[in-house]
Amino acid sequence: MSRSVVYTSSPLLASRTPAWRSKFIVAVIALGFVGLVARAAYIQVFANQFFQKQGEVRFARTLELASNRGRILDRNGLILASSVPVPSIWASPEDLDRDPVKIAQLAKLLEMPLSELNKKLENESKSFVWLKRQVDNSVALEVAALKLDGVYKRTEYKRQYPEGEAAAHVVGFTNIEDKGQEGIELAFNKDLSGHNGSRRIIKDRLGRAVEDVGEKILPVDGPDLQLSIDSKVQSFAYQKLRDAVQVNKAKAGSVVVLDAITGEVLALANYPSYSPAKRVHMSGEQLRNRALTDTFEPGSVIKPFTVGLALDTGRVTPQSLIDTGSGKFNMSGSTISDSHPNGVLTVEGVIQKSSNIGTTKIAMQMPAREMWELFSNAGFGQKPEISFPGAVSGRLRPYKTWRPIEQATMSYGYGLSASLFQIARSYTVFTNDGQIIPATMLKSSEPAVGAQVLSARTAAQVRKMLQMAAGPGGTGQKAQTIGYSVGGKSGTAIKQAGKGYGVAGNRKYRGWFVGMAPIDKPRIIVAVMIDEPTAGQYYGGAVAAPVFSEVVQQTLRMMNVAPDMAVKPQIVANAEAESL
């Protein structure tokens, strides 16, 4: 039988418990409660933001809602650049299902080495990593079909450029982040960019969105931008330039078409070019916007300004006689030459025959300061005020440093430098009654307001001389068009090679032509440059003037300008006419 225990008589219960022990136990319990209260206060009051942030990191996500970049339109509303939605693939490594078979399939679909994909996914503490951006819709559907947890699709926008190579140097392009990198995309990046929206969500333990938190911020699309460019003129000018470069086996070429009344740029093209949407293996030669960035000695296209100044100041008249002698003229120990002996010429004849000697003799009647002021007022030596990246100022030295021989060479375009764009704009002096007008890449319906450089009478006189230069007996006969009167000036320059111009037989040339049409009331200015032609001809009147002719005729037709000539010109250019 078990022995019964009488607890009341147990010696253990009968023993006296120390008072401190019960107090200690109560104190420990009280201290525990105080600790819990302190911890609760710390979590809910003092460190509340920290713990909320940690909770959000684990269960909350902010999803960016992409905005659509504004379109770039030509003057007629045709699209030059637009954004289209495309899927991009991203992953959350911390939520990823690391099934090796599915991972290998994912790498194959994304066309990337498995090692590269694993490297992107190796940091399991990350909540976001791009796997591949801007993939085809078919690829995105196949990725979704894998049903791989932790791999998601996000809609982004990719730029498309319908005009391709023809308008590449105007429009430019954006990077993968949809930020402008070149051309109009860069110049007007802030204007075109929209504002992304956002959506805050709570995830469950499987990574699924279960609840929206807070207010959704909707994206704001960027506004459209309308340019002065006419895409049809741009495309035609590019094609004719490309053909000329290839036929003449040239290094490169550029063409600029300006509205002579508003200063709008109707076309600006360069060759070689590139495809803005496919920039694989793109070189600097393709990327360079030569019409704005490349400078060269303008040569004979400066002569109308020198003669215009002499006419404006009353030093000569169009019929004043200038003796150019046998084609050689010695000045300060240097010889100035004409391509052919011209004897005595009128001032009109100096421009028509493009006489260096005649221009020099006219220039030396004027102070260097007056010539410098005229060139400067015509935009030389100054950066064009145009909303476009890469435009350069060229070079025009202060007149105080000019020696007499330098003043002479500058009168016919040597000793200063300018871009083709600057040259094209400078000729607005002759199309706008002596005023130079600002050029713009944006559409404008109002006539431009310019600054007076020469008198209206002088501008008209020079236009007549330019018509003679592009007509029978002139240096630019190949600039003639069917139905429209034209005027312009050719130019040819030997390219500098080191400190000199190379030796005969091994020289490199640049030929160009700049002019206007119709001649009485000019509507357009066209400037063409062919760099290093090597197919046998290199004079501007031979390699650049034909491009001018085709571009002028097509552009005026597109602009619905009525022909001002009823008779088709029958011009047969001879070797002498192609001299400059």
Residues catalogued as catalytic: 300
> Pairing relation of β-strands 72-73 and 225-226?
parallel
Q: How far is residue 323's CA from residue 314's CA, in Å, rounded to a whole number?
A: 19
Q: How many CB atoms lie within 10 A of CB 438?
A: 17
Within 8 A by CB and 6+ apart from 383, the residues are 391, 392, 393
Tokens of 130: 């791009």
DSSP-derived letter for residue 477 is G
Tokens of 336: 């100035």
- Select from 33, 55, 32, 31 the least CA-distant residue to 44: 55
Q: How many CB atoms lie within 10 A of CB 67?
A: 19
The answer to whether residues 137 and 87 touch, using CB atoms and an 8 Å cutoff, is yes
Q: How far is residue 435's CA from residue 454's CA, in Å, rounded to a whole number?
A: 7
Q: How far is residue 463's CA from residue 11's CA, in Å, rounded to a whole number?
A: 134
Q: How far is residue 69's CA from residue 194's CA, in Å, rounded to a whole number?
A: 6
- Helices 404-411 and 356-363: crossing angle in degrees, nearest 10, is 130
Q: How far is residue 253's CA from residue 249's CA, in Å, rounded to a whole number?
A: 11
The answer to whether residues 511 and 490 touch, using CB atoms and an 8 Å cutoff, is yes
The answer to whether residues 512 and 420 touch, using CB atoms and an 8 Å cutoff, is yes
- Select from 473, 466, 468, 490 the least CA-distant residue to 573: 473
